[in-house]
Amino acid sequence: MEHNDLLKILHGDISHINEVNKSDIALYGMNVIVYPRDVKKMLKLYLEDKISSGDLTNWAAFICIRAEYCIPNYMDDDDEIADYYEDMFYVIQRLSTPKLDGEVNKIRVTSYLNELKKYPDDII
């Protein structure tokens, strides 16, 4: 698996999930930063009917199981940064487990998008 594969998936290329080697679960040397704008983009694609609830769930599940997806400024050993992005990763986690956290539907996704309003779109 290449770094570019992970970026394609992060940025919404859902079909690419099926093209990667799923046995490459934890490639710790390939860090890919997840920004709130990436999650917001996927939620909006769902709300605009450009992807299905299954696509959104598959995307979130892939992000959750990949250890190399991390928060911005992950190199800083700072609990405040990790705490700040906790809501974003909690949204991803809930999307990945609809049987536990409720089906992915427009009402729920809209509420998740509202939870992410605290993050500016241009955050780096």
The reply to whether 106 falls in a domain is yes
What sign does the CA torsion over 12, 79, 102, 114 have?
A: negative
Report the pLDDT value the prediction gives residue 77, as an integer from 0 to 100.
57
The reply to whether 123 falls in a domain is no
Report the number of distinct structural domains present in the chain: 1
Model-level pTM?
A: 0.82
The reply to whether 124 falls in a domain is no
Report the pLDDT value the prediction gives residue 4, as an integer from 0 to 100.
81
The reply to whether 41 falls in a domain is yes
Q: Which residues constitute the domain of residue 105?
A: 3-118
Mean pLDDT of 8-25: 75
From residue 8, how far is each of 11, 19, 63, 106, 114 by CA, in Å? Answer: 5, 11, 12, 24, 25
Predicted confidence band of residue 90 (pLDDT cuts 50, 70, 90): very high
- pLDDT over 70, % of the chain: 77
